[in-house]
Amino acid sequence: MQILDSTLRDGAQAEGISFSVEDKIKIARALWEFGITFIEAGNPGSNQKDADFFFKAKKEPFFSSLCAFGSTRRKGVKPDDDKGLSALIDVGTETVCVFGKSWDFHAEKILGVSLDENLEIIEDTVKFLVSKGKNVIFDAEHFFDGYKVNPDYALSTLEVASNAGACCVCLCDTNGGTFPHEIYETVKKVCETVSVVRVGVHCHNDGGMAVANSIEAARAGATHIQGTFTGFGERTGNACLASIIPNLQLKLNMLCVPDKNIKKLTETARFVSEVANIKLNRREPFVGKSAFAHKGGMHIDGVAKASESFEHIPPETVGNERRILTSEVAGRGAILDKIRKFNPSAQKGSAETEQLIEQIKTMENDGYQFEAAEGSLELLVRKHMGKYKPLFELENFKIIGEQTIKGGKASSSAMIKVTVDGKEEITAAEGDGPVNALDIALRKALEGFYPNLKRVNLTDYKVRVLDGSNTTASKVRVLIESSDGINSWTTVGVSSDIIEASRIALADSIEYKLIRDIEDKYKAYL
């Protein structure tokens, strides 16, 4: 099965996404290392940034997998004179992907050409690119919509592209409104009609069925699937390859990437999201943080006895991990699992376990919630088990805020004093608000002792008022999610003072990162 990833082209058209050339280099390298067949990296004829990327990427090993994207020639312009086609040739990729009209409505009303002229445009374009030594993938834009109203014409666009030398004809569900059964029936028909070249699909998610549509296309005979790695793209997005690939490879035995690479699925999805500066949906199948999270006591008990009772695949197959959530419905088994990470010999019903359960219950009554704050829970278990050594002490801090009433920008500054192995460090920092200032100051003070903290960023910050009846004196719960670009973790703090609650969560976040790094270094040494 060929996989074409369009994260750097169609994904870049998503609202809120803007890649630098360096961002595109990083993502392309990650996709190549994962084993993606084609990396559609942009339209060099449409903007200078994409052209710059292709030229910079020529020195990279992943260049052989890159695919440049563009349109068929413009109406009334010969291929030799078409600037877009010239740009496709100039960037030097072995494979190019060009889209053309396959819906008669689009050809006549949008492009403004006759149906015969549209076929000539497709034929001229593909022949020209093939004559220049290019492998041509023809994207039949709006194919499924066109097939519904005029199947003969839609099929003729594929036949023209195939006869002109295209190595693959890709059927595009451009509007994203086709149902899975329609995809299956249409792809099956196309595979029977256009048998001399590879048939592919490109699905959008406007109806919420892009993944299912892609899988049905593969079942019907398509051997080329396009999508974006984590599903972002135009409007509601593209087919999510992080779901399509494991479904095809692990459940339908259709090889998409080298078998050894499937374990890098979660790592790659999180890396792509990090570089794109978007938060990966925690409920994303296979790769999301909650994909293998268990909260209900019956589920936890079942997974402990036989993981397949509540998991469709082992999480480690795709590089993810099982998470046992701690809450009022989780039961003692969940706490025991946490303890056994640090003390494998811990027994159910032991005094140690019961004491920790009671402590967690007391803290939950005070407003803590560990279900979404595993970083803080791990620190709590370590402290209870005697497996904790503080890596720094926050001696004191002071927050100064300034707010102009009529316009202007509010600012805050934080001054803190920390101690590490008896050495003191006093640091001040300014930020957009007191929590931001405290975060910057604390990490700034500790980076001299722990340089790896430079890679840590606060990626999410949530505040929940726990008891509105006390109005401004109410307790608040602060949840902070942090990331080092590879892993993410969440910590929690509770107080009637929002700054203090934030301070607790921030300190836990940093300690969690430092402890994990020390343990990872130790494991690597062994």
CATH number at residue 229: 3.20.20.70
Helices (H), 322-366: 332-340, 351-365
Is residue 129 domain-shared with residue 206, that is, in the same domain? yes
Same domain, 252 and 313: no
**Does residue 93 have a pLDDT over 60?**
yes
Q: Is a pLDDT exceeding 90 seen at residue 186?
A: yes
- Tell me whether residue 382 is in a domain: no
pLDDT at 478 over 80: yes
Joined tokens for residue 201? 């699909």
Which residue type, as a one-letter code, is found at position 68?
Answer: A
The stretch 411-422 carries a mean pLDDT of: 91
Residue 377 lies in a domain: no
Distance spanning both ends of the chain, measured CA to CA: 39
Tokens of 261: 């690479």
Say if CB 23 and CB 12 are below 8 A apart: no
399 vs 435: CA distance, rounded Å:
9
Q: Which residues contact 402 (CB under 8 A, 6 or more apart)?
A: 410, 411, 412
Whether residue 243 is contained in a domain is answered as yes
Q: Which residues contact 419 (CB under 8 A, 6 or more apart)?
A: 392, 393, 395, 425
Same domain, 269 and 301: no
Band of residue 404 on the pLDDT scale cut at 50, 70, 90: low
Does residue 100 carry a pLDDT above 90?
Answer: yes
**Residues 348 and 397 occupy one common structural domain:** no
pLDDT of 140 over the 90 cut: yes
Same domain, 342 and 252: no
Asked whether residue 445 is assigned to any structural domain, the reply reads yes
pLDDT (mean) for 235-259:
97
Report whether 115 contacts 104 (CB < 8 A): yes
Q: How many domains are contained in the chain?
A: 3
* 472-479: average pLDDT: 80
pTM: 0.72
Both 238 and 320 in a single domain? Answer: no
The DSSP code for 72 is P
Query: Sign of dihedral through CA atoms 272, 278, 282, 284?
Result: negative
In this prediction, residue 419 carries a pLDDT of 94
> Which residues partner with 100 through β-bridges?
140
Does residue 89 carry a pLDDT above 70?
Answer: yes
Q: Which residue has the tokens 């990729």?
A: 93
Q: Is the pLDDT of residue 406 over 60?
A: no
Q: Which of 81-85, 158-162, 429-433 has the lowest mean pLDDT?
A: 429-433
Considering only CA atoms, give the Rg of the chain.
Answer: 28
Which segment of 179-183, 245-249, 296-300, 484-488 scores lowest on mean pLDDT?
296-300
SS3 10: coil
Clarify whether residues 416 and 443 are in a common domain.
yes
Domain end marker among 276, 302, 329: 276
Give me the torsion for CA of 323, 326, 329, 334, rounded to 10°.
70
Structural domain contains residue 381: no
DSSP secondary structure of 218-282: HHHT--EEEEBTT---STT-B-BHHHHHHIIIIIS----S-GGGGGGHHHHHHHHHHHHT-PPPT
- Ranked by mean pLDDT, the top range of 47-61, 142-156, 452-466 is 142-156
What is the percent of the chain with per-residue pLDDT over 70, rounded to a whole number?
Answer: 91
In the numeric block, which tokens belong to residue 520? 């990872």
| Same domain (yes/no): 110, 218 | yes
Same-domain pairing of 125 and 177? yes
What is the per-residue pLDDT for 293? 84
**What whole-number distance in Å separates Cα of residue 55 and Cα of residue 70?**
16
What CATH number has the domain bearing residue 421? Answer: 3.30.160.270
pLDDT tens column, 12-26: 999 989 899 989 999
Domain boundary among 221, 251, 276: 276
What pLDDT score was predicted for residue 130?
97
Helix/strand/coil for 480: strand
Is residue 90 included in any domain, yes or no? yes
- Distance from C-alpha of 411 to C-alpha of 458, rounded to nearest angstrom: 18
CA distance 430 to 414: 6
Lowest-confidence pick of 37-46, 395-404, 460-469: 460-469
Asked whether residue 197 is assigned to any structural domain, the reply reads: yes
> Can you tell me which residue has the tokens 């570089």?
275
pLDDT average, residue stretch 31-47: 95
Token duo for residue 237: 């997005």
Task: State which residues form the domain around 299.
Answer: 293-365
CB distance 60 to 28 below 8 Å: yes
Whether 470 has a pLDDT exceeding 80, the answer reads no
Confidence category of residue 297, pLDDT binned at 50, 70, 90: low
| One-letter amino acid for residue 325 of the chain | L
C-beta atoms surrounding 443 within 10 Å: 20
CB of 344 closer than 8 Å to CB of 471: no
Nearest to 397, CA basis, from 431, 432, 437, 433:
437
CA torsion 84-87-88-91 (nearest 10°) is -170
- Per the CB < 8 A criterion, the answer to whether 42 and 265 are in contact is no
- Please count the residues of the chain: 526
In the chain, the percentage of residues whose pLDDT exceeds 90 is 61
422 versus 365: the higher-pLDDT residue is 422
200 touches 167 (CB < 8 A) = no
Residues 261 and 336 in one domain: no
- 75-79, 128-132, 368-372, 495-499: which has the minimum mean pLDDT? 368-372
Residues 6+ apart with CB under 8 A from 80: 128
**Single-letter amino acid, residue 471:** T
- In whole angstroms, what is the distance from residue 202 CA to residue 179 CA? 14
Please say which residue of 327, 350, 365 terminates a domain: 365
pLDDT digits (tens, 9 = 90+) for 300-347: 667 777 777 888 999 999 999 887 776 544 556 666 766 676 667 777
Mean pLDDT (the chain, rounded): 89
Residues 359-396 pLDDT 10s: 887 887 788 877 668 888 888 888 887 878 889 999 99
Q: Both 196 and 317 in a single domain?
A: no
What's the whole-number mean pLDDT along residues 250-270?
95
For residue range 204-233, what is the model confidence (pLDDT) as tens digits? 999 999 999 999 999 999 999 999 999 999
- Does residue 372 lie within any of the structural domains? no
Query: Is the confidence at residue 4, as pLDDT, over 90?
Result: yes
Q: Which residue has the tokens 């990296």?
A: 41
Q: Quick one: 166 and 297 in the same domain?
A: no
Return the HEC string of 428-487: EEEECCHHHHHHHHHHHHHHCCCHHHHHCEEEEEEEEECCHHHHHHCCEEEEEEEECCCC
Strand order in the sheet with 476-483: 457-465, 476-483, 488-495
